[in-house]
Chains A and B, each alone.
Chain A
Amino acid sequence: MDDISNVSKITEPVQKRILAKIAAAHPEINVSEAGHLHVPVDSLTAVMRDLKENFGFDYLSNVTAVDYLEYMNVVYDLCRVGTPYMLHIIVRIDRENPVVPSMVPLWGGALWQEREIYDLLGVIFTKHPDLRRILLDDTWEDHPLRRDYQWMSGRD
Chain B
Amino acid sequence: MLKIEHLNAGYGDLQVLWDINLEIRSGEVVALIGSNGAGKSTLLWTLSGLLKPMSGSIIFAGQSIGGVSPDRIVSLGLTQVPQGRRLFAGLTVKENLLQGAYSRSDKADVAQDLDFVLELFPRLRERLNQPAGSLSGGEQQMCAVGRGFMARPKLLMLDEVSLGLAPIVVDAIYEAIGKVRARGMTVLIVEQDVQIALEQADRGYVLDVGSLIMSGAATDMLANPKIRAAYLGI
Q: Do A and B come from one complex?
A: no
